[in-house]
Amino acid sequence: MRDIALFLLLIGTIPLMFRRPFVGVLVWCWISYMLPHKLTWGFMYNFPVAQMIAIFALAAYAFSKEPKSIPMEPPIKWLIFFYVLLFLCWLFHEKTAFTNMLAMKVVKVQFFTLVILAMLTTRKRIEMALWVIALSIGFYGVKGGIYTLVTGGAYRVYGPDGGFFEENNAMAIANLMVIPVFLYLSTTIKNNKLKILPIIAAVLTAAAVFGSHSRGAFLALTACAFFLWTKSNKKMLSMLVILAVVPVLFNFMPEHWHERMATIFVEEDTGEERDSSANSRLNAWRAGFNMSLDHPFAGGFNAETPANWMIYAPNPEDFVAFHSNYIQVLGKHGWIALFAFLMIFYSSWRLGNKIYKQTYQIESLRWAGLMCRFLQVSIVAYMVGGAFLSLAYFDLPYHFVITIVAVHVIVKRELAELEQEKNADDAKVTG
């Protein structure tokens, strides 16, 4: 029954896409982040849903009057440069079915990211997309938070099958990235009784982060709490909220959770041997670093193989994934690609700061600065948590990058209009 209902729902969105192409963006975001077909048990489970939606959404966009150009702000220039480097990496390395599949997956995701940017032309559209993303990932965050509270945090919270955030560590980072989005969206609701709902969702999603038992996510949560406080206009109130929520969740978790978190700071058991998962990560990081020194484009999309570990890893028998965005990019694509990757988010951060400085004194544009501040916290979650996870190709952080760029375009346009109005008023006075 779920399969049929989902299929009919998706088919029903296709005519809407051709009437309003931005509907295709919203459906794509829903499919990409919630993966509703993975909640079915029949023919829809392995149905190429994303491919089907992408084909119709792109066709609707191509035949529409929607803008066909993208704003070439610094983050987008770095993003395109990063794409070029990934293409060259694929071109100069051996091509296998796996590398072709992975490269094509990256191309599809990132190409659609640029299409979304072209259509993020208004505040309403930006916020609609953020609502879809927050509710899609938040579905698992709220469910996981409730599960954590009901079970006393005894079991780990996982993401949907087949997605970027399927395993518990990635799920925790995805949850952590949408918490600031929920907090921003609560400020857009005029009904005071409904404002509390996104905040409740954010708290339950934070509980799911704890329930993931992810040490990297715990470090990222700590960093986000700090940056959330620094970015808040009501520092005393935000501090009280953080002090009320985080310690309660921390003390709520079971003893084995605390023992696991303690291994972040101290060595386990005897103090002589480091936690085995930490050893595996360090071994993989050294392998990725060694690959980056051996070839301008490092090991390529197929870098993570037992054969490469035999050549580059200190312990060839301890084969695991890179477990770090930075080593993933470095080990697969090289130093130039890593620099471009870092510059995407650094330039986005600076652009967010610029937007805030331009808008915090203008009532009609304060939403822009506030949104960018919260998205910066989401980027902190990704950059800190991503130090321990291979999520370099995950589309969510890039969506936040293009959102900041889209906000800047809107702010520039509206500031220009305000300047024109001011000049017109001055001309009337002097006339």
3-state secondary structure of 15: helix
Distance (Å, rounded) from C-alpha 209 to C-alpha 49?
28
Model pTM? 0.90
pLDDT of residue 268: 46
pLDDT of residue 273: 44
> DSSP letters of 219-238?
HHHHHHHHHHHHH-S-HHHH
pLDDT of residue 106: 87
Distance (Å, rounded) from C-alpha 401 to C-alpha 287?
30
- Averages of pLDDT over runs of 10 residues in the chain (431 residues) are 89 94 95 90 88 92 91 96 93 88 86 94 96 95 91 82 81 92 93 91 90 79 78 62 65 64 53 61 92 90 91 91 92 95 97 94 92 94 89 93 97 89 72 59
81, 144, 324, 329, 395 from 341: Cα distances, Å: 9, 31, 13, 8, 13
Contact 300, 93 (CB under 8 A): yes
Distance (Å, rounded) from C-alpha 195 to C-alpha 185?
9
Closest by CA position to 356, among listed 345, 367, 343: 367
Closest by CA position to 24, among listed 67, 50, 56: 56
Q: Give tens-digit pLDDT for 313-361.
A: 999 998 888 989 999 999 999 999 999 999 999 999 999 999 999 998 8
pLDDT of residue 271: 45
Cβ–Cβ contacts within 10 Å for residue 337, how many? 24
pLDDT of residue 418: 83
Cβ–Cβ contacts within 10 Å for residue 366, how many? 15
Look at the block and give the residue holding tokens 């310690």. 247
Buried b (16+ CB within 10 A) or exposed e, 292-314: beeeebbbbbbbbeeebbeebbe
Distance (Å, rounded) from C-alpha 173 to C-alpha 184?
18
Distance (Å, rounded) from C-alpha 367 to C-alpha 403?
13
**Geometric angle at alpha carbon 121, from 383 and 126, rounded to 5°:** 45
pLDDT of residue 341: 96
